[in-house]
Amino acid sequence: MVAPRTRVAVLGGDGRFPCESLPGCRVRLFPARRYAGNGPLRSLERSLQAGGVDRVVVLARWNGHSATTAIMRLCRKLGVPFEVIP
């Protein structure tokens, strides 16, 4: 039997992230607003609400304050662990 992989969402940056830094995880990238508009943020919100994300990593340096705050609030509300990387 194959163990389920942790589903990790990475918010921020330009869509490049060293996925090998999260071994054993299925990583999905959501670029920052300045690189991809509002679509990725909205998509992450929908994924969180649907239960499709186990953990969120926020790349704060490359992400706007409003997007970071919105995702952190939603994660707290849904009980999804998150990590903010400065």
- pTM summary value: 0.88
Q: What are phi and psi of 4, to 5 degrees?
A: -65, 145
- Domain ranges in the chain? 6-85
Q: How many residues does the chain have?
A: 86
For the domain 6-85, what is the CATH superfamily, name and number?
Answer: AF0625-like (3.40.50.10700)
* The predicted structure's pLDDT at residue 2: 43
User: ∠38-41-42 over CA atoms, to 5°?
Assistant: 85
Could you tell me the CA-to-CA distances from 37 to 1, 11, 23, 34, 78 in Å, in that order?
40, 13, 29, 6, 24
Q: What is the pLDDT along the chain (86 residues), one digit of tens a residue?
A: 445 678 999 998 877 777 777 788 889 999 988 888 888 999 999 999 999 999 999 998 877 788 899 999 999 999 999 999 88
Supply the pLDDT for residue 1. Answer: 44
